[in-house]
Amino acid sequence: GGDDIIAGNVSKYAVLPAGYCGQPKKGHLIFDACFESGNLGRVDHITEFEYDLFIRPDTCNPRFRVWFNFTVENVKESQ
């Protein structure tokens, strides 16, 4: 839910479709926020083109989530 506590950043997290086994293929996005000022706490796969991203709150003010900083790799051309 929206009130879940997100403790840390995702680190080279490959988001795979439900039931998929094996190495990520091109188009299986890899999210990373394990660097200074990174704040992506969780990623949920919805469809090939849709993901729910959960941003951690600001360290100095937990009421606000007004910025985001993370990377995405392994995209395919039409994605």
Q: How confident is the model over 59-73, as pLDDT tens digits?
A: 777 787 778 899 999
Q: How far is CA 42 from CA 29, 48, 67, 77, in A?
A: 13, 17, 15, 24
Residue 58 has what pLDDT? 76
Predicted local distance difference test score (pLDDT) of residue 12: 92
Question: Which tokens sit at 18?
Answer: 């439900």
Q: What is the pLDDT of residue 79?
A: 83
Residue segments in the chain with a per-residue pLDDT below the cut of 70: 1-7
The pLDDT of residue 2: 52
